Amino acid sequence: MTRTSRRASATFLRAAFAAAVIAAPTAPAATASESIAKADVTEPIRAEIVSESAALVPGRTTAIGILFRIEPGWHLFWEGCNQTGYPITVKAQLPEGFRALDLVWPAPERLVSPGEILDHVYDDDVLVILPVEAPTTLDEGKPAVFRFDLEWVACREACVAGDTTIAIDLPVAPAASAAAPSQHTALFEAARRRAPGPAGGAPALRANWAAGALVIECAAARSLAFLPQDGCESLVDPIADASTAGNRLEVRYRPVDGRIGPLRGVVEILERGRDEPRYVSIDVPISEDGDPAVPAQP
Amino acid sequence: MMFTHRDSTSSPFAYAARAGFAALPLLAAACFALPASAGDASPEGAAKAVLKAEIGKPAPDFILKDTEGRDYRLSDYKGKTVVLEWFNPECPFVRKHHVQFHTMADLSTQLGKQGVVWLAINSNAPGKQGSGLERNKQARAEYKIEYPLLLDETGVVGRMYGAKTTPHMYVISPEGVLVYRGAIDNDPSPRATGSTNYVRASIAHLQAGEKIDPSETTSYGCSVKYAQ
């Protein structure tokens, strides 16, 4: 098996988690006030729920994290194009009045197995973030309970299916108070660095359709990679086309049953002078006649 | 369902030419990784050098032994619709369709009554999960599989077809043309079956003389455990 080398970030996430634990070496067993839920112990994966804030504040957004701790040698699957496995699924049951925003998925690793099999996986601890908006009317004396139904397939050579339901209850702070950070903030920061975000902060990028290929250009890049999320059947050669040691990448697509795409995915940009890649989501629209429209700019 | 089997000493060239199936892959498969070129004798090299399965093109022919030691040649079924199912008895997605649900048994029985031939193929390499004659004989009995289970331990046939998952499904028309490849259905989770069975739908389209849509879907399941 071959993997792309983005080990630095993944290692950082593990280090961040270790730091979070080390920071409170004498802490008693996890409690709600520590913003960590009771851990599930389904091997080879252990799932936990953590919160970025120690308490909820009425009317404010709080980030809740689903932390998958992965035994060495095993991997979980991203939600994008995979040729095997099954992506992590997260279903949240929120307390009344709360609103869930979009899940934030860190960028995965590419895994190429014998038989030219391409998957996008997490092979180190991964934190999936769910931002939730609290209602303005919250009872300060009553903790809010967030419940998550999780499902996954973990593979090494063999694969095992796993699922669990776990919950976290968070205390409510007074309205208009500052949201105190929990001991897990480093985990959230590390996960966000690996997650595609709005273009702000990332270098300028162009993604266009030209001559049967999605052409991605980024003048500031010394390498580019594309992690496709949609239109998986239309990809001509996702292994060969997915990365380049340059600033221009062509990802070829072909029509399947008269359709191409959708051309949606995450671009990994390694800029000159930077050691850590940045990630941008792109979604090149498809016109009614089946041809991808041009141009698209994230 | 009745299945025929044949003596593997027959000439693959002569038979493939007669049947109209793609002939060159037959040589590679029948000879079990016969070097396709002087420079690359690996199963992957052999598969790369020959035709690959493509929608709308003749399905590459092959000969494989089943768990009972009988030879099966794809081109023997010229004139019949053929379903190929990639198989690994230990894979939770395979178990979903064979044990939790009876997707494969029910559909193969139903289609068998219409003259459709169903063949399972295990391309896992020796020593890898779900490989080996005894384990597959046992699994065929345990899962009550009534159709042949063919062993492709070199992975030549699996690579020719681009089989990536277990299950990975292929439908071949009576003319020997590959008309569908992909998932069995539209629920890739390990614990539920989908509302649309793509194999059933593609054969219904084929029998009605209609365009097969979708002709390709993303298969799902465990990876086929090829040798390095």
Residue of B nearest to A160 (CA): B92
When pLDDT is cut at 50, 70 and 90, the band that residue A1 belongs to is: low
Separation CA A87–CA B116 (nearest Å): 33
CA angle A165, A169, A170 (to 5 degrees): 145
What pLDDT was estimated at residue B50?
54
Instruction: Verify whether the Cβ–Cβ distance B223 to A160 is below 8 Å.
Output: no
| A289 pLDDT more than 80 | no
List C-alpha distances in Å: B98 to A151, B88, B146: 21, 11, 12
Strands A109-113 and A117-122, sheet pairing? antiparallel
Q: Which residues have C-beta within 8 Å of that of residue A273, sequence separation ≥ 6?
A: none
Q: Which residues of B200-217 are buried (b: 16+ CB within 10 A; e: fewer)?
A: bbbbebbeeeeebebbbb
What pLDDT was estimated at residue A198?
60
Tell whether A42 lies on the interface with B, counting CB pairs under 8 A.
Answer: no
Secondary structure class of B108 (helix, strand, coil): helix
Q: Give the pLDDT confidence of A150-197 residue by residue, as tens digits.
A: 999 999 988 999 999 999 999 999 887 887 899 999 999 999 999 997
Would you kindly state where each structural domain of chain A is located, as residue ranges? Answer: 2-193, 206-284
CATH of domain A2-193: 2.60.40.1250
Q: Which residues of chain B are under the pLDDT cut of 50?
A: 1-20, 24-49
CA angle B17, B20, B25 (to 5 degrees): 75
Work out the number of other CB atoms within 10 angstroms of the CB of residue B68: 11
Greater pLDDT, B98 or A10: B98
Nearest to A117 among B164, B214, B227 (CB): B164
Instruction: Verify whether the Cβ–Cβ distance B220 to A84 is below 8 Å.
Output: yes
Angle between helices A185-193 and A7-22 (to 10 degrees): 170
What pLDDT was estimated at residue A212?
87
Is the ipTM value over 0.90, yes or no? no
Contact B52, B173 (CB under 8 A): no
Q: Which helix H or strand E contains B103, and what residues bound it? A: helix B103-112
Separation CA B117–CA A245 (nearest Å): 48
CA angle A228, A231, A234 (to 5 degrees): 105
Mean per-residue pLDDT, A266-276: 93
Q: Give the pLDDT confidence of B103-115 residue by residue, as tens digits.
A: 999 999 999 999 9
Tell whether B189 lies on the interface with A, counting CB pairs under 8 A.
Answer: yes
List C-alpha distances in Å: A108 to A77, A243, A293: 8, 14, 28
Token pair of B189, please? 């989770």
Cα distance from A182 to chain B (closest Cα, Å)? 34
Suggest the residue from B159, B165, B222, B224 to mutate for an interface test with chain A (most A CBs closer than 10 A). B222
Separation CA B56–CA B106 (nearest Å): 27
Chain A contact set for B214 (CB, 8 A): 256-257
Contact A295, A206 (CB under 8 A): yes
Tell whether A239 lies on the interface with B, counting CB pairs under 8 A.
Answer: no
Contact A243, A252 (CB under 8 A): no
List C-alpha distances in Å: A67 to A39, A162, B4, B10: 10, 15, 53, 58
Instruction: Verify whether the Cβ–Cβ distance B214 to A157 is below 8 Å.
Output: no
Secondary structure class of A73 (helix, strand, coil): coil
Domains (ranges, CATH) in chain B?
12-223 (3.40.30.10)
What pLDDT was estimated at residue A228?
96
Nearest to A84 among B128, B217, B222 (CB): B222
Total number of residues shown for chain A:
298
Greater pLDDT, A255 or B30: A255
Instruction: Verify whether the Cβ–Cβ distance A159 to B228 is below 8 Å.
Output: no
Token pair of B226, please? 């090829």
Contact A266, A281 (CB under 8 A): yes
